[in-house]
Structure 1
Amino acid sequence: MPDTPLTDQQLTDIEQRARAATSGPWEPYPDYGPYFHANTSGEYLRGVGDINFGVGEQAEADETFVRHARQDVDALLAYVARLQQQRKFLLDQLAKRDAESGRGDKALREFLTDPDTVPAEACGKCKQPFDDADARFDGKAQKAGTPYCRRCVDLCHDNEIADHRCVICA
Structure 2
Amino acid sequence: MHDVSAIGVALRCTASVSFPSGFTVTAFADDADPFDLPAIDIATPAMNVNGDLVVFSAPVPVTITLNVIPGSEDDENLSVIFDANRPGKNKRHAGDVITLVGTYPDGSTITLSEGKMTNGMPGSSAASAGRIKSKAYAFAFQNIARTRAASAA
TM-score (norm 2): 0.23
- Structure of higher RCO (CA pairs closer than 8 Å, 6+ residues apart): 2
Structure with the largest fraction of helix: 1
Larger Rg: 1
Structure with the largest fraction of strand: 2
